């Protein structure tokens, strides 16, 4: 830290109050390497001056002139409100009680507080004279180089104010070119990567589906500046992600000055919000970082922030597991399950998860057409109950988990018969089913109690439960709530209801590992991850498909949250047949699990699996806590290769996969860019009798591995390798 930075840090330990009316003032939000600088101009507008490299003295901006015509529009605003002289899409758009649709936010005061030796929080109060206050909250995480931003909107008038747009944050960026990386997909193909050069006008990334919001698009992005290429190691990259489990919208608009304005927040779609007097609406956090060393550093910043601040207890290392779904589906009894638990023990796994199908009596859940909502153990399938299974597992030293889907109900269920008023539906319109099920209306506090109760009852019934898989297998259609007066509150209040249930659950059950599943990766975002330890990355367990799914997901979300399972062949989703080793090598790059019937494995397969599971346990701390370096991209080459390196750079694990046959003449060369060139490393290929790399078993200088690299013989599709490196 420079002397100046130390001085600034000391000053920040005292709350700083600035009040309006001074001429021009500068406000800075700093991390170790980044600054946001905001200026209050003479008229009291809060202008956005800078987001990028660190600026030690924000007063350099005093007297700054943009040379923009002063009678036409405004300089970039920190939180633009619609009306007045602002023409672009606005962060805030309101209707005042007198019908006025203009809003003019002027600076009132600000305060910066140091929360601890790594985090500062800056709150800037703005107000419109007609009775609205907006506080912009920027939280700076210094060593991670991440800043989060959200707004808090308070009605200080006497009558309700209608909020139409209420985004979390606005980020103006100035560069020659803007190359956007974002995500698209569908069920079983989540987090596919799209890249495009932005042009004038707007590009929108959004969800209007509610609940299962991240199958098709994801509230996150990377933006490479001044280039038309995506580069892992070079160039300036802004990365961002929104922490919200509902409809979201990210808006990228390039205006006539070539400036890009990024808005991120709750989707305004059908969501006009009536803010009563004296009430405050708190928008979700937008998380962003800025890298000067390509996309790789941007990911590592987000991952560090996530592990330190953004995830629910990332210190818990996930046990390796067997999930019953693809191995048994709905077709099991007590013996099937206890046999699986025995297999978990025998194979060296640590947790067994009983998936769907264990409940329902009047309408037994023997398929996905009935029983959902009736959370009593199915007495004909499991007469001994689930507590018996939990005890059985624990006696063997195996942990026990179970599946629930508490927000949903089959029409054919006792719950739907008892509480038709709890179902999400629009008055006078048919209720659609998706996967034969309806959605419960979490805006209703009675439903919130019920959903909490499902979790609570299961936990009470079998206190041995260590892990819950929380599923949500539909999105919202023809939305409507019998409970709400104002239907446009539905989307927001559903999410608030969801979070309030999860708050109660986490208060009572802080140690249970909870997985967010939503038909696979339908809830992969940082709002849910404040409560869940992990996500089920995709229902697609096929290893080749997983290459792109995991590559994309881990651009934004760390591997310590991404569940990845080895399943049987032909794969149940794609029909593809891949070697067991390839399947393991893919699954081992995340939270390793198995999802198959172990009894169907040959002795040879079982033997291989045991070894792969044992070796994974030796290096999984690197997957959970290490730095991710991507060495080859499945979008730009015939390989996917990545490495995780310990923070002290003394240990690393490298994964490399050939994903297309590409002629005998070509072989890869991977530079192990995460290592320390000054150290010596031993390198050893795992899970093989004969290595595909001539150097396996040798020790190399770090500079050779970093600057030249390794050339494993991976020439055929599905060839793969895992290398373990240790500094000597």
Chain residues binding ligand GLA by CB under 6 A are 325, 355-356, 368, 403, 471, 473, 517, 519-520, 536, 539
User: For the purposes of burial, counting CB atoms within 10 Å of the CB of 364, is it exposed (0-12), middle (13-18) or buried (19 or more)?
Assistant: middle
User: For the purposes of burial, counting CB atoms within 10 Å of the CB of 69, is it exposed (0-12), middle (13-18) or buried (19 or more)?
Assistant: exposed
Closest CA relative to residue 531, chosen from 686, 209, 314, 727: 314
CB of 206 or CB of 368, closer to ligand GLA: 368
CB of 466 to ligand GLA, least distance (A): 18
Q: How far is CA 33 from the centre of its chain?
A: 24
CB of 168 or CB of 245, closer to ligand GLA: 245
The CB-nearest residue to ligand GLA is 356
CB of 567 to ligand GLA, least distance (A): 11
CB of 455 to ligand GLA, least distance (A): 16
Q: Rounded to whole angstroms, what are the CA distances from 231 to 237, 497, 633, 636?
A: 9, 40, 10, 11
Residue 503 annotated to the active site: no
Pairing of strands 146-155, 132-141: antiparallel
Which of these is catalytic: 285, 356, 466, 539? Answer: 539
CB of 362 to ligand GLA, least distance (A): 19
**Which helix (DSSP H) or strand (DSSP E) does residue 411 occupy?**
none
CB of 139 or CB of 213, closer to ligand GLA: 213
CB of 536 or CB of 582, closer to ligand GLA: 536
CB of 247 or CB of 541, closer to ligand GLA: 541
Residue 432 is classified by DSSP as: P
Q: Rounded to whole angstroms, what are the CA distances from 52 to 147, 239, 577, 624, 701?
A: 11, 12, 47, 29, 35
Which of these is catalytic: 441, 471, 627, 638? Answer: 471
| Separation of alpha carbons 316 and 313, rounded Å | 6
CB of 125 to ligand GLA, least distance (A): 44
3-state secondary structure 165-195: EEEEEEEEECCCCEEEEEEECCCCCCCEEEE
CB of 73 to ligand GLA, least distance (A): 48
| Separation of alpha carbons 137 and 154, rounded Å | 13
* Cβ neighbours of residue 453 closer than 8 Å, sequence gap 6 or more: none
CB of 514 to ligand GLA, least distance (A): 14
CB of 470 or CB of 499, closer to ligand GLA: 470
CB of 519 to ligand GLA, least distance (A): 5
Residue 471 annotated to the active site: yes
| Separation of alpha carbons 27 and 14, rounded Å | 15
Token couple for 185: 């997909």
Handedness of CA 42, 46, 48, 50 (dihedral sign): positive
E-assigned strand segments in 419-576: 438-439, 465-470, 513-516, 534-536, 562-567
| Separation of alpha carbons 264 and 220, rounded Å | 9
Start-to-end CA distance of the chain, whole Å, equals 31
3-state secondary structure 78-125: CCCECECCECCCCCEEEECCCCCCCCCCEEEEEEEEECCCCEEEEEEE
CB of 476 to ligand GLA, least distance (A): 17
CB of 108 or CB of 215, closer to ligand GLA: 215
| Separation of alpha carbons 82 and 103, rounded Å | 6
- What residues form DSSP beta bridges with 150? 137
CB of 392 or CB of 536, closer to ligand GLA: 536
216-229 per-residue burial string, b: 16 or more CB within 10 A, e: under 16:
bbbbbbbbbbebee
Would you name the residues annotated as active-site residues? 471, 539
């Amino acid at each position: 830290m420079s002397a100046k930075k130390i001085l600034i840090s000391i000053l920040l330990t005292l709350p700083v109050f600035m009040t309006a009316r001074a001429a021009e003032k500068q406000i800075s939000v700093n991390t170790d390497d980044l600054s946001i600088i905001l200026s209050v101009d003479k008229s009291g507008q809060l202008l956005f001056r800078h987001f990028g490299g660190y600026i030690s003295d924000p007063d350099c901006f005093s007297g700054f002139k943009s040379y923009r015509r002063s009678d036409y529009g405004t300089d970039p605003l920190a939180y633009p409100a619609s009306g007045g002289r602002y023409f672009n899409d606005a962060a805030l758009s309101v209707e005042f009680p007198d019908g006025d649709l203009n809003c003019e936010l002027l600076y009132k005061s600000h305060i910066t507080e140091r929360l601890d030796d790594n985090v500062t929080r800056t709150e800037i109060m703005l107000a419109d004279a007609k009775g609205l206050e907006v506080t912009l909250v920027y939280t700076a995480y210094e060593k991670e180089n991440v800043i989060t931003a959200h707004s808090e909107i308070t009605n200080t008038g006497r009558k309700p104010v209608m909020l139409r747009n209420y985004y979390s944050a606005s980020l103006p960026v100035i560069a020659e070119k803007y190359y956007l990386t974002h995500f698209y997909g569908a069920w079983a193909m989540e987090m596919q990567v799209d890249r495009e050069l932005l042009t004038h006008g707007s590009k929108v990334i959004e969800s209007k589906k509610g609940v299962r919001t991240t199958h098709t698009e994801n509230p996150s992005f990377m933006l490479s500046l001044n280039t038309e290429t995506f580069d892992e190691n070079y160039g300036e990259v802004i990365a961002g992600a929104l922490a919200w489990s509902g409809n979201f919208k990210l808006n990228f608009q390039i205006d006539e000055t070539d400036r890009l304005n990024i808005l991120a927040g709750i989707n305004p779609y059908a969501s006009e919000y009536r803010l009563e007097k004296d009430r405050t609406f708190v928008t979700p956090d937008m998380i962003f970082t800025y890298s000067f060393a390509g996309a790789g550093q941007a990911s590592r910043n987000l991952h560090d922030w996530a592990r330190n601040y953004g995830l629910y207890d990332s210190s818990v290392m996930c046990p390796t597991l067997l999930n019953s779904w693809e191995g048994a589906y709905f077709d099991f009894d007590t013996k099937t399950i206890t046999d699986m638990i025995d297999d978990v023990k025998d194979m060296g796994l640590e947790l067994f998860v009983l998936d769907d199908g264990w409940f329902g009596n009047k309408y037994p859940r023997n398929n996905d057409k009935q029983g959902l909502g009736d959370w009593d153990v199915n007495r004909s399938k499991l007469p001994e109950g689930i507590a018996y299974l939990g005890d059985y597992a624990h006696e063997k030293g195996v942990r026990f988990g179970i599946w629930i889907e508490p927000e949903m109900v089959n029409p054919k269920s006792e719950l739907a018969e008892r509480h038709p008023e709890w179902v999400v539906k629009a008055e006078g319109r048919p209720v659609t089913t998706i996967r034969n099920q309806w959605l419960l209306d979490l805006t209703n506090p009675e439903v919130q109690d019920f959903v909490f109760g499902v979790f609570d009852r299961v936990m009470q019934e079998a206190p041995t439960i260590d892990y819950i898989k929380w599923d949500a297998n539909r999105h919202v259609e023809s939305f409507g709530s019998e409970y709400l007066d104002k239907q446009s509150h539905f989307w927001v209040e559903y999410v608030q209801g969801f979070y309030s249930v999860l708050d109660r659950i986490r208060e009572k059950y802080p140690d249970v590992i909870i997985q967010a599943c939503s038909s696979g990766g339908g809830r992969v975002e940082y709002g849910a991850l404040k409560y869940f330890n992990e996500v089920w990355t995709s229902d697609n367990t096929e290893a080749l498909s997983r290459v792109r799914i995991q590559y994309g997901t881990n651009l934004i979300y760390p591997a310590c949250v991404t569940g990845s399972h080895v399943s049987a062949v032909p794969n149940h989703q794609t029909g593809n047949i891949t070697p067991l080793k390839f399947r393991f090598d893919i699954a081992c790059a995340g939270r390793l699990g198995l999802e198959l019937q172990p009894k169907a494995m040959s002795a040879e397969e079982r033997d291989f699996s045991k070894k792969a599971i044992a070796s994974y346990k030796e290096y999984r701390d690197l997957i959970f806590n290490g730095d991710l370096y991507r060495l080859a991209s499945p979008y730009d080459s015939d390989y996917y290769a990545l490495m995780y390196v310990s923070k002290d750079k003394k240990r690393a694990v490298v994964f490399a996969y050939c994903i297309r046959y590409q002629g005998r003449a070509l072989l890869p060369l991977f530079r192990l860019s995460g290592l320390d060139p000054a150290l010596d490393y031993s390198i050893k290929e795992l899970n093989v009798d004969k290595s595909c790399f001539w150097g396996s078993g040798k020790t190399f200088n770090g500079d050779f591995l970093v600057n030249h690299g390794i050339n494993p013989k991976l020439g055929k599709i599905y060839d793969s390798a895992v290398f373990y490196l240790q500094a000597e």
